[in-house]
Amino acid sequence: MTGFPVSPPPAPRKRFGQHFLHDQGVLARIVAALAPKVGERVVEIGPGLGALTLPLLNALGRLEVVELDRDIIPHLRERCAGAGELILHQADALAFDFRPLAEGGALRLAGNRSLRRLAMPANALRTAGSYLSQ
C-alpha cells in the first residue's frame, strides 16, 4: 500500500532550499509534461516527500532519485513501498556523478526546481522531456 508515512514527515529545511510540492494541479501538469513511459530512464532530483515521485514511479515502474536530506529518505521509502522499484541515492545533486546512470542511453531528469546547475554532459540528457522551473 502506498500513501503518506505513519510517522510525521520532517519539516522543510531552509539550508537545503526545500519546499515540498503539494498542489495536485501542478503535479498533474508536471507528470503530463513528462509523459513518462515504462522503460524510460528517469531520475528525479530532490524528491522530498514523494509528491512527484509516487506518480512517476506508478507510471514508470522503476525510478531513480537523488535526495540530499537523509532524514527524508525513510519517509520516501515508506510512501513509495509497493509502487515499483525505487532506487535512492543520498547525495547532493550538484555534486552527484550522473554519468554511470546515463550509460547505455539518455536520461530524463525531473524535479520541481531548476536543473540547469547540474554538472553533467549535455549529450547524456534528453532535456526536452525534463521539467524545468525557476
pLDDT per residue as tens digits for the range 11-43: 655 555 545 566 788 778 888 888 999 989 999
Mean local confidence (pLDDT), 87-94: 92
Q: Which residue type sits at 96?
A: F
Domain residue ranges of the chain, discontinuous segments joined by +:
41-129
Q: Which residue type sits at 61?
A: G
Q: Is 67 helix (H, G, I), strand (E, B) or coil?
A: strand
Q: Please give the mean pLDDT across all residues of the chain.
A: 76
What confidence category does residue 59 fall into, taking pLDDT thresholds of 50, 70 and 90? very high
DSSP state of 122: G
Q: What is the pTM of this model?
A: 0.72
Third-level CATH fold of 41-129: Rossmann fold (3.40.50)
100-121 pLDDT, tens digit per residue, is 988 878 888 887 665 555 545 4
Residue 58 contacts residue 84 (beta carbons within 8 Å)? yes
